[in-house]
Structure 1
Amino acid sequence: MVTSRLKSHNHISISTVKEYKNNKQGQIITPQKNNQRKVSLFVENGCALPNEKEKAKQLYNAKSISAQIIILYEMMKLTDLEVRLRFHTAHHLEQYFSRLFDNIKILPFGSSINGFGRRRCDLDLVLIPNTEECNVTSRLVFHSKLMNNNDRQMNNNNETKEFLGILANSMQYFIPGILNVRRILEARVPIIKFCYNYTQTECDLSATNMTAIYMTELLNLYGEMDWRIRPLVITIRAWAKSQELTFDVPGQWITNFPLTLLVLFFLQQKKILPSLKILKLYSTHDDVRCAENGIDCTFLRDVNKLPLNYKYDINQDSLEKLLYDFFEYYSTFDFQTYGICIREGIQIRKPSRSALHITNPLETTLNVSKNVNFYELNRIISKTHDAIHALETTNKFESNNWGIMSLLKINNDNGDLKKSNTTKGQTKNIEEYLKNSYENSYEISDKFEVNETNIDETKTKKKETI
């Protein structure tokens, strides 16, 4: 089922995967021949994902908090194989739907593509028309009904809901490998939730949501600008989850997308990232994009074309200092008066009475944190104060959970374990990561040049709340 798309991988070599099966632990394994040893697909350098004890040991033995952040990022980020499997999931669905509808394609977007996703996170998919493959010379023409022009927006919303309802029925009854189909059609962006059994991936499918595609491009662009950005975002997301500021289901709390915008806005204040306004100012004719609802999604896609004063930042703070400064910045931020806007790169007067206002950088009329209430905002501020105290009082020679371990509530069970130097393997991995990061800080990876983007996060999903 997976051939050329999985030809090579930095950690595992798999020539052909004919079938995916679950082992007793719920991991995905490749089919075996003769007496070959079973190998989990979720491995790195031949080793399975670290459990909590192994994670605690690696973080405990790190030389510094900055080293802990890099180690955590390497443990949590999506591997190349997992990204490939997510593209395979999209291709699988596209093959089935192409038998029913002409000229469509399904693209992955969101955290799985923008570089901020963690292992085994949900996969966001969008179904869009594929106008590039129309064969004008063909004698066979696919006929379909046009959208009504009267009250187009209302008709478009209703037709999208009905269309997704038809797709959900087809997926539930006819497409193999798809389980637990749930229809969430009354949300602002209607979606279908389901589990893709072959890769054990939870998926969200929407339709014609091009704004999300362009948002993924923007977040991926920011992630590529500086080697410190993705490790910092992953660490702060992990901190928020461990402190129960974020949950896997929506509610009156902050989600990963606005939390990521908080980090990016903070880095703009540090002069590490340019504002979206600057990216739009230096955009070229090739960068012009417009979503289906008329939203301007034009911004510079090639950061190498930025002026030198924007391209090479003068801020060389360590990850440890950036983490501390992030908590300090938002512990004293005037959320009552000001809002967050990475489009302008400066704080703005709150245009609404919401507890927390974070402007959607592409759809500026939307507040992506509108759901957050005052109680949850106060909890965020309180947790930032707690984080500052934890970082100021940490002692790596006397504590079993020093540095970010205390922030993530990770404990070293072996109380008698003496702190050792970072292992040679960890040191080598960190040095290689820093070297590669500096070399590729402003080179956008080829695998993100497909139409991608964010946002199970920009989508305001309606799910069952806890």
Structure 2
Amino acid sequence: MRGCVVSLLVMASCIGLPILRRNSCPQSVRIACLKFRGLSAIVAREEQVSKPDETGSESCSSRRTFIKVQEERQQQAKHTVLISCPPKINEKKFLKYLSQHGTINTHFFYESFGTHAVVEFSKLDSVESLFSRASIPVIKEDCVVPFKSRLFTIKSTTSFEQAANQKPVGCQKQSTIPINELIAKLSSAENIEEQLFCLVDEYQLTEENTRLRFLVSSLINDVVSAYFPESTVKPFGSTVNSFGKLGCDLDLFLDLDDIRKSAIGKLPGPFSVEFQMKRVSSGRVATQNILSVIGECIDNFGPGCVGVQKILNARCPLVRFSHQPAGFQCDLTANNRIAMRSSELLYIYGNLDSRVRALVFSVRCWARVHGITSSIPGAWISNFSLTMMVLFFLQKRTPPIIPSLNHLKDLADAEDVHIIDDNDCTFVSDINKIKASKNTETLGVLLSEFFEFYGNFAFNKNMINIRTGKEQNKPEPSPLYIQNPFESILNVSKNVNQTQLERFVALARDIFPTSTSALRSPQEAAAAGAAPDAREGSERGVSDPCWAQVLDGDSEASPYLRPRAATAEKIAKPFDALRPKRKEEDRAAAGTELDPPGDPLKTEAYSARRSGGARTGTQGRIARPSEGAGERLRPRIALRVPPRTAALPKRPQENRGSSTGPGGDQRGSHDLLKGSKANQDIPK
């Protein structure tokens, strides 16, 4: 079971990972913690089911609301400074020096274009004290812009010999681990539950990374406040919705509502006083003008901000830039309050049940490996759309694991009512008011059922709607229709074309083509009366012959599994670096080169593929199923799915020519400046 899930999520069964047996090696403390965490999650769900009415228990009452968490993070950021340090610095002397300004709550170091330290003081006065002691740099060749911010540089006054003997400080990771290390950790897990929680632990935003993101938001707010003192820059999207991955973009929005709320009331008398302000033709024009000025200000005065692009003609105008000291690609929008409500909704769903985040992370990982999602704009399915699909699937379980948006609206109080631009964005904000689900399905079963569900979903006539949690006829003939939870007239997956949808369906059907029993644990198999694999017994953890075939790729045992190995050979191309390289001429002859070397027009196999001609070799196509397997491979829904003997659509290529920050979207400036229609309906 361990080896299959590793191959499923990461390597698509084509690397041939060894199946590590239980008790074959001593378990590390980390794996022991993961085991305890997985067991605790199962026990917690069973306790919630046995006591469904005790929503006001101590464990539930500790869950903070989204607004409360954001306010605490913003206050932390105001007390925090970002300092560029020498690569070798004495940490004790560094902290002792800064402690002269006040008590330090927390600190950590990280690497991004040099060594940096994030230091949080207990009081705001300490930051002001540091401001008063810092000096403006004197550079002989250049002239500096005298804009003071909480981004400092500290220099050591010790001799060069002493600095050379100093050990480097320990730095916190700001990116995901290499894929080979991830595979090793997943292989060491005991079951699927541990593997998926391990995936979440390795990919989710760390505490340090989250603090750094809110600090960058606060630093940008310092720049913006020069023009709009009462405005606030807030992070939204993956940074705050509990589904963020290390290396993801930092989405920011400029909240101007506080400016409108600043008036405390009129004085008694026959007069009223108003501000004189510029007038424009529409709110969109006002947003474009504001972002244009803010973009110029960030470009000219914002320390550490580089590569500023003003993308003002998109459906949601934005300013894109890289914050070099933090290593983030940032997108700044204005008055995007609906996006913040979407972030809060995802935060609630992600904290209702531990299985929600684990399933979302695993599906996203699978989609990224197989090229279903892409970091460049285009017709591919976005991470937000995948998240909506997972949530809808969990709403369709019996009983539902998470409630529909309409149910959350019914639980809302008067303070939860939000009407934004005539769109009803009302739902309960207190997670403790939502009863726990009685569903106790394991993550392994849910993962298998997810692919089964969407492998048979009637995309040709139905849409996905988490507001109702039910299939409904889609209002327009888009290949994939996922209704925006708040702006009901928008399709968040409008950019997805028929080819990419068919690719998703084909890959989903190809994951577990036998049965959902393949993901049963040994205990579940024993309870169901299934015999373990005769070759290695229960030690291997195989619950039935179908699972053994999936593990070993035994195509002779079942013709239904025969196309699976050939499909996996092609859809795991992102990890060519982990396999022995073949010569370019061999790859061209086989017709498998996704990114042909040299001039692609000179590659005969590539030209034949582009023109729709026949291919040669066995690696450039999906293997033809054996005789008698046609009935089992027949599509089960009225959807045009590519036949098993046809090649899967070409997976997206990375745009290596674009300028990006670490973990940022690799989007070309040409498409962005045009405000391409493909991206206009994708919310953050």
TM-score calculated relative to the size of structure 2: 0.53
What do the CA deviations read for 1:167-216 (whole angstroms, capped 9, x no partner)? 11111112111000112111110111110112010010000010001110
RMSD of aligned C-alpha atoms?
Answer: 3.7
Matches of 1:325 and 1:251 in 2, distance apart?
Answer: 28
Matched with 2:277 is 145
What do the CA deviations read for 1:366-423 (whole angstroms, capped 9, x no partner)? 100111111111001011012224975442899xxx9xx99977799799xxxxxxxx
Matched residue SS, 2:193: helix
* Deviation of 1:94 (Å): 0.7
Q: Larger radius of gyration, structure 1 or 2?
A: 2
Q: Are 2:494 and 1:370 equivalent residues in the alignment?
A: yes
Does the 8 Å contact 1:342/1:361 carry over to 2? yes
What do the CA deviations read for 1:229-256 (whole angstroms, capped 9, x no partner)? 1111011111111110111122111101
State which of 541, 551, 555 in structure 2 corresponds to 1:395.
551
Note closer, same or farther for the CA distance 1:32–1:54 as it changes in structure 2 (3 Å cut). farther
Amino acid at match of 2:189: A
Pairing of 1:65-84 with structure 2 (within 5 A): 65-84=192-211
State which of 390, 407, 431 in structure 2 corresponds to 1:278.
407
Q: Are 2:198 and 1:87 equivalent residues in the alignment?
A: no
Note closer, same or farther for the CA distance 1:275–1:88 as it changes in structure 2 (3 Å cut). same
Matches of 1:197 and 1:39 in 2, distance apart?
Answer: 20
TM-score calculated relative to the size of structure 1: 0.76
Matched residue SS, 2:354: coil
Q: Are 2:292 and 1:158 equivalent residues in the alignment?
A: no
Matched with 2:455 is 331
Amino acid at match of 1:145: M
Does the 8 Å contact 1:5/1:84 carry over to 2? no
Does the 8 Å contact 1:295/1:363 carry over to 2? yes
Matches of 2:292 and 2:342 in 1, distance apart?
Answer: 26
Matches of 1:32 and 1:227 in 2, distance apart?
Answer: 45
- Comparing 185-194 and 26-35, the one that deviates more: 26-35
Ranges in structure 2 where 5+ consecutive residues have no aligned partner: 1-75, 83-90, 96-103, 118-153, 157-162, 266-272, 519-546, 555-564, 581-664, 679-684
Matched residue SS, 1:127: strand
Does the 8 Å contact 1:214/1:297 carry over to 2? yes
Matched with 2:295 is 168
Matched with 1:463 is 672
Matches of 2:498 and 2:110 in 1, distance apart?
Answer: 46
Matched residue SS, 1:463: helix
Structure 1 runs, 4 residues or longer, greater than 3 Å off = 1-7, 12-23, 26-34, 132-137, 141-144, 389-394, 405-415
Matches of 2:354 and 2:107 in 1, distance apart?
Answer: 37
Amino acid at match of 1:61: S
Note closer, same or farther for the CA distance 1:320–1:276 as it changes in structure 2 (3 Å cut). same
Note closer, same or farther for the CA distance 1:462–1:220 as it changes in structure 2 (3 Å cut). farther
Matches of 2:228 and 2:455 in 1, distance apart?
Answer: 52
Instruction: Work out which structure has the larger RCO, using CA pairs closer than 8 Å and 6 or more positions apart in sequence.
Output: 1
Does the 8 Å contact 2:109/2:171 carry over to 1? no
State which of 433, 442, 465 in structure 2 corresponds to 1:341.
465
Ranges in structure 1 where 5+ consecutive residues have no aligned partner: 149-153, 416-455
Amino acid at match of 2:242: G
Matches of 2:425 and 2:375 in 1, distance apart?
Answer: 29
Matched with 2:233 is 106
Matches of 2:78 and 2:415 in 1, distance apart?
Answer: 33
Matches of 2:480 and 2:191 in 1, distance apart?
Answer: 33
Q: Are 2:303 and 1:303 equivalent residues in the alignment?
A: no
**What percent of counterpart residues are identical?**
31
* Deviation of 1:27 (Å): 7.0
Does the 8 Å contact 1:195/1:203 carry over to 2? yes
Does the 8 Å contact 1:102/1:142 carry over to 2? no
Matched residue SS, 2:512: helix
How many residue pairs were aligned?
Answer: 394
Does the 8 Å contact 1:20/1:198 carry over to 2? no
Does the 8 Å contact 1:258/1:358 carry over to 2? yes
Does the 8 Å contact 1:27/1:42 carry over to 2? no
Matches of 1:27 and 1:64 in 2, distance apart?
Answer: 40
